[in-house]
Chains A and B, each alone.
Chain A
Amino acid sequence: MTMKKLKLIHIVILFWLLILIAKWELLYNIMNFVLYVFRGNVKIQKIDIALLDYVVATLLFFILPFVAWKFRKKLNVRISGASFSVTMFFFFVLFAPLIATSNPAMHHDIKKCKLLPPFSSVAIEERTNIKISNASSGLHEFYNKIINRGIDKNTLYLKANNQNNSKKLFFLFGTDEYGRDVFSRILYGTRFAFFLGISSVIISFSLAFLLGAAAGFGGKFWDNLLNRFTEIFLSFPFLFLIIVFLAFFGNSFWVVVFVLGFSGWMGLFKIIRAEILRLKSKDFIISAKMLGMPEYKILLKEIFPVILAPVTVNLVLQFGNVIMAESALSFLGFGVGDEYFSWGAMINSGQYYLANAWWLSFFPSLFLALTLITMNKTGNELEKIYNPGSTK
């Protein structure tokens, strides 16, 4: 019963407070650093992406309450499973560096930290005797305090699951074969999934919009041709063509994004085409045409904003599809590889250790499945909002 009273805004506040309590020291350090830079104490010669990531995440973190206040009415809705997961997903994407307990690429001392089970901790001793030579002295101090470095000569790893020592590294989901923190990798995997999904959905959408416009405005011939083409593409098992491309032309991030983007436009095209055909006969379009507005302007100014709403559902579903497709490809070994934090790749490489370390493939599978369930559920709920009386 109490669950019923829980509103989305409560969840946002809860997550926010959790991070604040757990990481106040880090946040304090980063804010200090920002002030230090603003006062002009240090000249920034080169932008350090890793550091920037922390700073942006922190600034966003402190802006969040204001944003939440502004949208308090919209957030004052009852919590559902989907909205809860979506909130968590966005927290992970935005604040990954604040939540992470380790640098996801960091090989913790392999001899001590390899393949530790979930909830393990390793006692460490911080040494200060080895200097990192290449950072300038002012920044250096902050850098050390803020960043989860990918390489760390100052930490001495003592023993796994040692109870006595005060300073400890904690591995919530255990570690992998390189002594990397599985939790942090999964966390950054959310980011990876998000960017991959967004980029290829944008490609799919642009393609579908262009073709939809061509079919809608190009006359009967183009309409027929594109329709035929779409039906063929809809029924073609794309996995194989994707694999041909990835196997032959390398599997870098952008190739994967483009290939997945190019193979997901068909459903969107059908909807956009139908919408354009429907809108074409509407008064406001006809009058715009009469006024001599060029077609591309009508398309962008009049049609585009109207189309966005009904298409959103499909965009969300497509987003889920892309994540699923990428993980399946990575599982088969055709994905982006170990350089990125792909859940599918983690599951794939975890299979190698299935007998000794179940957590390597279990947790990424769990997160993947949860994300996909969330996306599909969100799609369903959006559908109810946008097309309440729809046939589905």
Chain B
Amino acid sequence: MKNKLITVIIIPLFLLFFSCQRNTEKINRVVIGISSDVETLNPLYTMNLNEGRISELIYLGLVGHRWDDEEGNIKSYPLLAEKLKWSDDRKSLEIKLRDDIKWTDGKKLTSTDVLFSFDVYSDPVVQSRFYDMFDNFYLEENKHIDLSKSFEIISEDSLVIHFANGNAKLFDIDMPVLPEHKFAGIARKDFGTSSLNFEPVGNGPYKLKNWSRNEKIVLEKNPQSFLSSDNMIDVLIFKIVPDYNSRIIQIKKGGIDLLDDIRPEDLEGMKAAENLKTVITKGRSYDYVGWSNIDQKLWREKKLIKPHKLFGNANVRRALTMAIDRKLIIDEFLNGAAEIAFGPVSPIFKKFINRNISPFEYNPGKAKSILESEGWIDRNGNGTVDKNGVEFSFTLFIPGNNPRRQYTANIIKENLKEIGIEVSVEKQEPNVFFNNMFGKKLEAWIAGWVVPIPIDLKPYWYSDFNTYFANSAGYRNEKVDRLLLELEKGVEKEKEAGYYYKIQEQIHKDQPVTFLFWIDNISVYSKKIKNISIDPLGTVQRCWEWRLN
């Protein structure tokens, strides 16, 4: 018995000893922690953030982007294209491709690949994520680009794109270029399930080495790429760690070298760690409390518009905003790593954000008196204000397991209780929640938006909410509509900011939703990585420039 015990203890110790002797020779690599596996690496279908981040290292587009911090906007620069030349009327663009670009299977990238890419991105059968987004091109009836009108192939490495109007920007041709010869044998309706989703043949600085589902995605340097250099990082590993606490432990222990979305309460610990560097960038995502401005039932059933019985009045909505202690949530939950929001323009767009507006201060007394002047008084002594027999009580919906939204909801519930409004908080599974939110079935909810780069406000605030379902609050204002339409048509660069200023003023006045805060992005990386640029475009966007110590 005793002998057995000894073997049981000794052998593992022995093994442990040997395993510690493990070969620890440094490989030139960086491990990036991500929270969930990607579904595809095919740029046609890369919907979520991580899919985009990874596939854009494998497939490059004609142009790349850099963040210009002073302007607060992006600047495009040629990437696969060597030269770009606009015609005088800005209706056609001459593109000269670099002649040193090869697909990872050895074939040369040519202008027919570019043509093919636009062809499939806009093909309704393919159902790519860019479908129906080519409004500046000549289109067929089903939104497919009219290839013969739009493209003119001049040679193997040069082509001209003719646009339907003069509003086209370089952003309109910002799509990763696809290898035509690889897709040639596949029917277009089967693109979504083809093996190219998992075995990409790319043109970028990195190529896929292996992909273990739910574990890691390994990229290695593509020596043929014009972006590659001798001392760039050889291997990039995207390690999938769903549990936040595990990610934090691993970055501290060195199992992960770069991590985004650090929660504010870990900020101190990260700053204290000697081997890590913390970068805080202003956020472009905000949380808000949505108030249904219109009677949603009436709209859903009869498409009629009538103000909501509780939130239909802008004064009431302003009172609600004043009653919510946003500073408290920022201080106590977000450890100060956020900025109170007053409108839909992120602080990163330095030229567009209207700093003349100051957010409503937390002032429950004033909120209460506004409610009183609007007729909301506790007439029956039950602690909740009422008007015409309607009690001011409602359900505030939040999506799934989101601790921040849960915290915010709990604080709001307490805050509004103070001014005599009764709130019950209900969690909904995210898929159900968003379905209900877009379907205008929720009267009050907490959600968030990420403002796209370049900024686009129309989908969120334009009054035609049959098409623009993201305007879940049902906000309608003629002035804002007019300004949004003019911005879409294109205005002179100097006047652009003025438009955004006016939109923000109006939205601030109407308070269609209560804007809560812009959440800072906190990223942490190992000090061994040099030459890393972190800005609103993300952390890994230009990782071919990284160097290791």
Contact = CB atoms under 8 A, between A and B. Distances in A.
Question: A contacts B directly in the complex (CB < 8 Å)?
Answer: yes
Interface of A: 45-46, 107, 110-111, 114, 133-136, 150-151, 153, 177-178, 246-248, 250-252, 333, 337-339, 349, 351-356
B245 A134 contact: no
Contacts of B333: 177
Contacts of B378: 133-134
16 contacts: A45-B381, A107-B414, A110-B332, A111-B331, A134-B383, A135-B381, A151-B417, A177-B407, A178-B407, A247-B432, A248-B432, A250-B426, A337-B426, A337-B427, A349-B403, A354-B245
Interface size grouping (class) on chain B: 20 to 34
Contacts of A248: 429, 432
A111 B336 CA distance: 13
Contacts of A150: 417
B332 A352 contact: no
B441 to A, nearest CB: 13
Contacts of B432: 247-248, 250
B410 A107 contact: yes
A150 B417 CA distance: 10
A363 B527 CA distance: 39
Q: DSSP class of A's interface residues: helix, strand, loop or mixed?
A: loop
Contacts of B406: 338, 349
Interface of B: 245, 248, 265-266, 269, 328, 331-333, 378, 381-383, 400-401, 403, 406-407, 410-411, 414, 417-418, 420, 424-429, 431-432
A333 B400 contact: yes
A381 B498 CA distance: 79
A134 B403 contact: no
A134 B381 contact: yes
Nearest to A247: B429
Nearest to A107: B414
A339 B426 contact: yes
A184 to B, nearest CB: 16
Ranked nearest first, the 10 interchain pairs of A and B with the lowest CB-CB distance are A333-B401, A337-B427, A247-B429, A134-B383, A110-B332, A107-B414, A352-B403, A134-B378, A134-B381, A151-B417
B416 to A, nearest CB: 11
A134 B382 contact: yes
Nearest to B244: A352
A28 B403 CA distance: 41
Nearest to A111: B332
Contacts of B245: 351, 354-355
Nearest to B266: A355
A96 B432 CA distance: 36
Contacts of A349: 403, 406
A337 B418 CA distance: 23
A300 to B, nearest CB: 39
Nearest to A110: B332
Contacts of B428: 250
A110 B414 CA distance: 12
A251 B382 CA distance: 28
A353 B333 CA distance: 11
A55 B47 CA distance: 57
Nearest to A338: B406
A110 B410 CA distance: 12
Given A178-B407, A337-B427, 19 more contacts: A46-B381, A46-B382, A107-B410, A107-B411, A111-B332, A114-B332, A134-B378, A134-B382, A136-B381, A151-B417, A177-B332, A177-B333, A177-B407, A250-B426, A250-B428, A252-B426, A333-B401, A349-B406, A355-B266
B92 to A, nearest CB: 52
A15 to B, nearest CB: 33
Contacts of A250: 426, 428-429, 432
A51 to B, nearest CB: 13
A111 B330 CA distance: 12
A352 B264 CA distance: 12
A338 B400 contact: no
Contacts of B414: 107, 151
Contacts of A351: 245
A339 B406 CA distance: 10
A338 B426 CA distance: 9
A245 to B, nearest CB: 11
Nearest to A180: B410
Contacts of A114: 332
Nearest to A356: B265
B26 to A, nearest CB: 29
Contact of A178 (B266, B410, B426): B410
B396 to A, nearest CB: 11
A252 B432 CA distance: 14
B436 to A, nearest CB: 11
Contacts of A251: 427, 429
B331 to A, nearest CB: 8
A110 B331 CA distance: 10
Nearest to A335: B427
